[in-house]
Amino acid sequence: MNVFAVIMAGGVGSRFWPRSREKSPKQLLKIFDEKTLIQNTADRLQGFVEYKNIFIVTNKLQKEEISKQLPEIPNENILEEPFGRNTAAAIGLASVLIQMIDPKAIIVVLPADHIIRDKDIFQAALQRAVGFAYKKSGLVTIGIPPTRPETGYGYIQIDENELEENIFKVLTFAEKPNYETALSFVSSGDFLWNSGMFVWKAETILSEITLHMPELAMALKKIAFVSGTPRFERVLLEEYGQLRSISIDYGIMEKSHKVFLLKGKFTWSDVGSWEEVYQLSNKDKNDNSIVGKVYTDKTSDSYIYSPGKFTAVIGLDNVIVINTEDALLVCKRENAQEVKKVVDYIKLNKLNDYL
| pLDDT one-digit tens code per residue, 184-201 | 999 999 999 999 999 999
- Would you state the pLDDT for residue 301? 98
pLDDT band at 1; cut points 50, 70, 90: confident
Question: What pLDDT digit, counting tens, does each position of 93-102 carry?
Answer: 999 999 999 9
- In this model, does residue 13 exceed pLDDT 90? no
CA angle 63, 103, 44 (to 5 degrees): 45
Region 28-50 average pLDDT: 96
Name the nearest CA neighbour of 38 among 346, 306, 271: 271
Region 64-77 average pLDDT: 97
On average, the pLDDT of the chain sits at: 96
Of all residues in the chain, the percent with pLDDT exceeding 70 is 100
The pTM for the full model equals 0.95
Lowest mean pLDDT among 8-17, 68-77, 114-123: 8-17
pLDDT band at 66; cut points 50, 70, 90: very high
Chain-centroid distance, C-alpha 306: 26
Cβ–Cβ under 8 Å, residues 109 and 198: yes
Measured CA to CA, the distance from residue 223 to residue 346 in angstroms comes to: 35
Measured CA to CA, the distance from residue 245 to residue 242 in angstroms comes to: 10
Query: Residue 32 half-sphere exposure, CB side, CA atoms within 13 Å?
Result: 21
Integer-rounded Cα Rg, in Å, for the chain is 21
- Would you state the pLDDT for residue 11? 85
Phi-psi region of 315 (alpha: psi -120 to 50; beta: other; left: phi over 0): left
Domain 3-269 has CATH 3.90.550.10: yes
- In this model, does residue 328 exceed pLDDT 90? yes
Name the nearest CA neighbour of 196 among 268, 125, 277, 105: 268
Measured CA to CA, the distance from residue 289 to residue 163 in angstroms comes to: 43
- In this model, does residue 17 exceed pLDDT 90? yes
- In the chain, where the domains are located: 3-269, 274-354
Measured CA to CA, the distance from residue 117 to residue 106 in angstroms comes to: 24
pLDDT band at 53; cut points 50, 70, 90: very high
Question: What pLDDT digit, counting tens, does each position of 259-299 carry?
Answer: 999 999 999 999 999 999 999 999 999 999 999 999 999 99
Region 20-43 average pLDDT: 95
pLDDT band at 152; cut points 50, 70, 90: confident
